[in-house]
Structure 1
């Protein structure tokens, strides 16, 4: 839906009162990606997801977002807001913001890790600045590593609308998990 299109909540209710919607999606076994990337450095694993050599993780299909760029220390995700992202007050749920920001920050860290080294988010601090609706248009989450240490990493992420207005920001600390 284009940014100038009317919000789907303004669609007239059918005569029978049924306002239900339906959405279906498919995904691959997540272990295909996890095991397929285990012997790749982080940058190569992210590239394999982007080029389709490895399938995107199920969360990307569930929320409808995609990894669009990755380079050492940086990762960018994008998604088109839809009704299925909405909370009860008629805008995109904050958990979707947080998931995109966490993905961008985490994958920025992943892009700098050698083969066999993993990470997990220790904490995520999100600041919400503007609402997102289906009329917002394609949104991007840009993650950047600010510190990569031996045991932890710090990253920040910014959620931007098509006009590069800041919608939300996050800081994340990640635990670096090295093989025993």
Structure 2
């Protein structure tokens, strides 16, 4: 199967019919230079940067392509939505999506929700992430979305929450995160 991720071809032979005789699957992908995107974004507010990324005018970060996150599809002040289709390459040894894939998606949604409220020159970093796994995902789950929202933003810290739901609104995981905010004018 071939997917297009931001115009980047990604070959994924997770289909046993296309796997080699040993059952080995392959997945290849490529990404854009993250420092170039960072330089392009230097004068943009957080929401401008995220909207440019959602609209394909700015390259997605490498982790998004690596994890197979389909993309950032909604950006509002204090709220973002990511989409991902769980696949076999997300699996842990027990045959379901690894908790790290959940956590990466939830952390991205929490952090980007905070970023959407920051003016140009300000940035953030995650201080913590508390994840609650409610049910497992597999490649049969179908597309999911991860909705991140800011619950509080102050001068130095921000709090955000995120949840992963399927197309029917079934809840798979939730998270809360605290972020440290770095203001451009501070030394």
Judge same fold: TM > 0.5, yes or no: yes
Q: Match of 2:5? A: none
Query: Which structure is richer in relative contact order (CA contacts within 8 A, separation 6 or more)?
Result: 1
TM-score normalised over the length of structure 1 = 0.90
Which of 25, 34, 41 is matched with 2:38 structurally? 34
Q: Match of 2:140? A: 135
Q: How far apart are the structure 1 equivalents of 2:29 and 2:15?
A: 25
Question: Once superposed, what is the RMSD of the aligned Cα atoms?
Answer: 2.0
TM-score normalised over the length of structure 2 = 0.87
Bigger share in strand: 2
Q: How far apart are the structure 1 equivalents of 2:148 and 2:14?
A: 31
- Note if contact 2:122-2:181 (Cα within 8 Å) is conserved in structure 1: yes
Matched, 1:49 2:53: yes
Q: Which runs of 5+ in 2 are unaligned?
A: 2-12
Matched, 1:98 2:103: yes
**Matched pairs, number:** 172
Q: Which runs of 5+ in 1 are unaligned?
A: 2-7
Which of 170, 174, 177 is matched with 2:179 structurally? 174
Q: How far apart are the structure 1 equivalents of 2:15 and 2:137?
A: 16
Matched, 1:146 2:145: no
- Note if contact 2:86-2:138 (Cα within 8 Å) is conserved in structure 1: yes
